[in-house]
Chain A
Amino acid sequence: MNLRALLLASAVSGALFSVGAQAAELTIGFSQIGSESGWRAAETTVSKAEAKKRNINFKIADAQQKQENQIKAIRSFVAQGVDAIFLAPVVATGWDAVLKEAQEAKIPVVLLDRDIDPAGKNLYLTAVTSDSVHEGKVAGQWLVKTAGGKPCNVVELQGTVGASVATNRKKGFEDGIAGASNVKIVRSQTGDFTRAKGKEVMESFIKAEGGGKTICAVYAHNDDMMVGAIQAMKEAGLKPGTEILTVSIDAVPDIFKAMAAGEANATVELTPNMAGPAFDAVIAYKTKGTMPPKWIQTESKLYTQADNPMAVYESKKDLGY
C-alpha cells in the first residue's frame, strides 16, 4: 500500500468511515533498538497491542543495539513504501542522511522514547518521550509530601554514571525536594541500574549510616536497583516500606510485588506505551492533516501502595518486563 493509494482511498471514503476503520489501511514500520532491558521488551509488546487496537499493519525491526541496523531498517521501510516510520534511536547523532531519504519519500518519522540531535529537528514529525527530569521531580515531590516536614535523610542510588537518564532523574529529584529543607540527600552512589549493584551499594549505605538507623528514605533511579536495595535492607534486619521509605522510577512489575508486600512505597511510571500516542498523532496527521506538536510528553504517573499494586502487577507481568 503506497501513499498515493492511501490518499486516494481516504479522499473517496473520507466521509463514510470512522478514523479507526481507515487506519486499517495504514502500514507502519518500527525500528526498535533491541531488547536490552525489560522495559524495552514491554515497549515492544505494548506497541504491538496498541497497533492491533487500531488495526494497523505494524512491522518491527530489532536493531540489536546497532545504529547501522537501524539505518538499514529505515531504508528498507522506505523501499517498502510504508505510511510512517517509528524510530527508537540508539544514539543521538548520525541520522540526517537516512531521515532525509524518508522525508524525500514523504514518509513521516516519529521518534519514540529517545530524542536525536537538535540539528535534525525538521527531519521528523514528532517525538514521543517521557521527561526524565519530570519523573525525578514527581518522585521528589512525593517524598516531601510523605515526610511531612520531619527531617528525612535520603540515600540515592544513581543510574550509570554519565547516562542522561541518570543525570536527569537526579536533577529532577533535587528540584522536587528543593523547597523542603528537612529532606536532604546524604549519600549518593551509582548502582549501574542493576539489581546486584543496587543491593551492594545499599549494603554499604546501611553500614555507613549507622546500620541504616539514620536513613529515612531511599531514592533509586530505577526499580531494579530498588528491588536489590530492598533485599539489602531486609538482610540487615531493616523494614523497607515502613522504617525506611522507598521511591523509585520505571514501574516494572516486580516493584508492585514489593509494594503489595508493604516493602516498597512508591514508583513513578515510565510508560511502555510510547507507540499509542504516536499512532494517534500519525492517524490524525494522515487523515486530517493535523500537525502534532514537536514533542509529545508521556504521562509520568505515580503509583503507591494505595493503587492496588497487586492488580497493576497482574496487568504488567506479561508485557515482557
Chain B
Amino acid sequence: MLPTAPLPPPAAGHKPQQDASQQDAPLLQVTGFSKSFAGFVALDGVDFTLHPGEIHALLGENGAGKSTLIKTMTGVVARDAGTMRLAGAAIAPRSAEEAVKAGIATVYQEVNLAPNLSVAQNLYLGRQPTRFGLVREGEMRRRASALLAGFGLSIDVGAPLETYSVAIQHIVAIARAVDQSARVLILDEPTASLDAQEVEVLFAVMRQLKARGIGIVFVTHFLDQVYAVCDRITVLRNGRLAGSAPIAQMPRLDLVRLMLGRELSEATARRSHAAAGPAGADVAVFTGLGKAGYVAPFDLTLRAGHVVGLAGLLGSGRTETVRLVFGAEPADAGTAEVAGRRVTLTCPREAMALGFGYCPEERKTEGIVADLTVRENIVLALQAKRGALAPLPRREQDAIAARFIRLLDIRPPDPERPIGLLSGGNQQKALLARWLATEPRLLILDEPTRGIDVGAHAEIIKLIRDLCRQGMALLVVSSELEELVTYADEVIVLRDRAHVVRLTGDAVEVSAILAAIADAPAGAAAAA
C-alpha cells in the first residue's frame, strides 16, 4: 500500500540539497519569536531551527504555543518580535500566501481546500494552466494525475475532493504545497483523523519528501508517530522553548516530562480487571438495531458502572453505531429497551429524555458553537432538555459553568470567553461538561481524546473511570487502543459496518483487538 513510485520532478527553481556539508546549514532559522494576545503571552522568545531533509516534531500540550508559532512563521498572525531566515535570507511573510511564495507551505488538520471542487482544481487553484485566458481542463487533469502518481495515488482527479478520504485530502494538500516549490512543509496534526494504514501512507510520503531535501515541521499528539518518523524534537511549554534535541537523545520519558513538566499519572497504566466492580443494572438494551447501508444490525447491552468500548478502523461503523443509539440517525430495524421499557429513538431529544448524552467525534462541526461562551456551550444541552420555555436562570447557569470549569479544570477559567478561543482539549472538556450537566444515565463518547494534548488525555481517562465508578453507563469509541483497554470492561470490534468480535473481561487486550481489526479483507487501505 505504500507509494513506491518516484517523486515528481523537482519544481523549477528548486535544487535538492542532499550533500552533507549543506546539512549543517539551517534551512529555516527562527530567532526570538514573541507574540501576545491582549496581555496573554502566547509565545515568549522562541527559537526554532529546521535543517534541510529533516522531519522535525513540534510538540507541546494544547496552549503551549505550537499553533501560534506556526501562524507567526507563516505570517497568518503578525509577530511582536523575532527574526526568521530561510536558507540564510531574512524573510517576513505577512500572509500565508506570501509564506507559500517564499517557500513555506502549511497543511492543516482541517484541510484548507475547497471540498466541492475537483482534486485537479484544488491542486491548481489560482495557477491553472491556461491558453488564451481559458483554463485548459484536460491539461490540468493530466498534470494532476501525474503529480499524484508521484505520491502513489491513482485516483480520478476529476471527482470532487470531498468524495475522498481525509488521508487522500491531506496528500492532495501536500502535493499542492510541494508542487508550489515548498522548501519547508508544515504539517499541523495531519494524522489526527487518519487510521493506522493511512498514517503509514502519509509517512511514506513524508520520507520521500525528506529525501528530496525538504524540511518538514510535524505537529502531532501521537508519540509513537514521533518516534516512527522524526529526526528531531522541539518541545514548547507555556509559550516558551522547553527543549530541543535529536530523537536519539530524547527518550519517551524525557519527552513527556518536557511536555508536561511532571510525571505522567497512573492514567496510562494498565487497568486491573480484577478491580472492576460488578456490572450494575441494565440501562439500555438494543436488539438487532441497525439501518440498511449504514450499519448492520447488532445487539448491545449497556449497564450502569460499565464501559463498553467500540474499536475499529475509521469508517468501520463505530460512529454509525453510536449515532443509532443516540437517535441522531433513525434505525430501520431492531428494538431498544431503556430501564425495561420499549422505546423508539428517532431524534436526539428523545434519547436525551431517556437520559442519554452524546459527545460527537467532530468537535468543531458537531460539538462546539464557537461564537458562544463557555457557559452557554455548557448549559446548551441541559437547556434543550428543559425546553425553550423553561430558561435556566442566569445565576444557575453561572453556577453550573463554574462548577464544571472547576471540576474539569477548564482553562482559562473564564465562563464568558467564546469557546472557539479555547484549545482543543479544553473545548472537549466543556463538551463533556455540557453532557454531564444533564446528569445522563448513559454517556456516549466518540473519540473523547482525539486531537488533544497528553495532559488532557489523562484527565479525560480519569474522568471516564470516575463516572463509571459513580454508576454511569458509558459507550466509548476510541482509536487509542492502549488507552481503551485500561478502562473498557467490554470491547466490541467493528469491521465493514458490522460488529464482528466482542471481547470481555481479561480478553480485552490490545493484541486481541488488533487481531480482530486486522481480519479485514486485503486491499481495504484508504489510499488504494
Tell me, yes or no, whether A and B come into direct contact in the complex with CB atoms closer than 8 A.
no
What is A's interface to B at a CB cutoff of 8 Å?
none
